[in-house]
A = this chain, B = another copy of it.
Amino acid sequence: MSSNTLHNYPAEQKALTESIRRKKSFLCVGLDVDLDKIPPHLLREEDPIFAFNKAIVDATHAYAVAYKPNTAFYEAYGAAGWQSLEKTVRYIQSIDPTLFTIADAKRGDIGTTADRYAQAFFHALDFDSVTVAPYMGRDSIEPFLAHPGKTTILLGLTSNPGSADFETISVGKHPMYQEVMQKALTYQHSERLMFVVGATQTQYLASIRQVLPHHFFLVPGVGAQGGSLSEVCRYGLNPAVGLLVNASRAIIYASKGGDFAEAAQVAAQSLQAEMAEALDVYFKS
């Protein structure tokens, strides 16, 4: 791709695209850790969640460009869980500072409160990005967009059945999620946005790519939820790659035994191989 193609992207998104092309992977590993599901021998560690994440990151970082802990899984363990989250994001950065970190927090609040969330995730925890919910509108999103060097990932069309309740209902001539996307493009520093677009919604993906030709999509729902990687690539790739595809359970719980890290590596490598092929096809054609 020519450097010209990317000249309007913020530096941090250019760096992500470079990392993707270098690793031939746009894999994001979801670190949704549940103490009831990790190998029992890890429960003897001082911080079992961190120990699990460290092993997963060590095993998979050659095949992944991003990691996405979902905050719910950490908050469920209170302050101790929050500490595991802090250690996890710091460890990822120490392993390879080009790894893109996503706090999957789906926060949404207004004004000074949104500022505090931005402070929590962009600075106290030093994540590269955070997921944000759109319901409360502009003044719940712009406080995140105000942070240079950071990325705000807005819920667009999610992968769950409940997305039919509000996201896909008609508002005027188009569905709600499209209203969200189009309005978000008018927000200040909208170039710092990415959008969540579920892999189970590929019938809408081509039209979403038309509305948002340049932006990155964070795509959950491949694997356990039934989304197809090849369909996502077919409709979602753009000249800056424009995709981060997340897999959580399919990687971190590939095995629940003592070989969990090796199994995670195999699962990540297999997804990376599929992605390398899709990138080859797209950028050669």
**In chain A between 158 and 199, which residues have their CB closer than 8 angstroms to a CB of chain B?**
158-167, 169-172, 176, 179-180, 183
Which residue of B has the minimal Cβ distance to A119?
A: B76
Cβ distance A150 to chain B, nearest Cβ, rounded Å? 15
Selected interface stretch from A104-112, A238-246, A264-272: A104-112
One complex includes copies of this chain to the number of 2
Question: Is A88 an interface position by the 8 A CB rule?
Answer: no
Please provide the chain A residues from 63 to 86 with a CB less than 8 Å away from any CB of chain B in the complex.
70, 72-73, 75-80, 82-83, 86
Task: Please name 17 pairs of A and B residues whose Cβ atoms are closer than 8 Å in the assembled complex, sorted by A.
Answer: A34-B112, A72-B114, A75-B117, A76-B117, A78-B120, A79-B82, A111-B160, A134-B135, A136-B162, A137-B166, A138-B161, A141-B162, A165-B183, A166-B180, A169-B172, A171-B171, A176-B176
Q: Which A residues are within 8 Å of any B CB, using their own CB?
A: 32, 34, 70, 72-73, 75-80, 82-83, 86, 104, 106-114, 116-117, 119-121, 124-125, 133-141, 155, 158-167, 169-172, 176, 179-180, 183
List residues of chain B with CB within 8 A of the CB of A163.
136-137
Chain B hits for A114, CB < 8 A: 72
Q: How far is the CB of A35 from chain B (nearest CB, A)?
A: 11
CA A78 to CA B159, docked complex, whole Å? 30
- Asked if B72 and A166 make an inter-chain contact with CB atoms under 8 angstroms apart, the answer reads no
Q: How far does the alpha carbon of A167 sit from the alpha carbon of B160 in the complex, in Å? A: 21
Q: Tell me if B176 and A162 are in contact (CB < 8 A).
A: no
Inter-subunit contact A117/B160 (CB<8 Å): no
**Other-chain contact of A124, B76, B116, B134, B165 (Cβ < 8 Å):** B76
A82/B72 in contact, CB under 8 A: no
Apart from A78-B82, A136-B162: 18 A-B pairs, beta carbons within 8 A: A32-B113, A34-B112, A76-B120, A76-B124, A78-B120, A78-B125, A79-B86, A106-B108, A106-B133, A110-B162, A134-B135, A135-B158, A135-B167, A136-B166, A138-B165, A165-B183, A170-B172, A171-B176
In the complex formed, the residue of B with least CB distance to A117 is B72
A80 to B108, CA, bound (A): 22
The docked-state distance in angstroms from the alpha carbon of A245 to that of B233 is 49
If the complex has contacts A110-B162, A166-B179, are A79 and B76 also in contact, measured as CB distance less than 8 A?
Answer: no
Contact of A73 among B116, B171, B172 (CB under 8 A): B116
Q: What separation, in Å, do the CA atoms of A166 and B135 have in the docked complex?
A: 6
B78 to A86, Cβ gap below 8 A?
Answer: yes
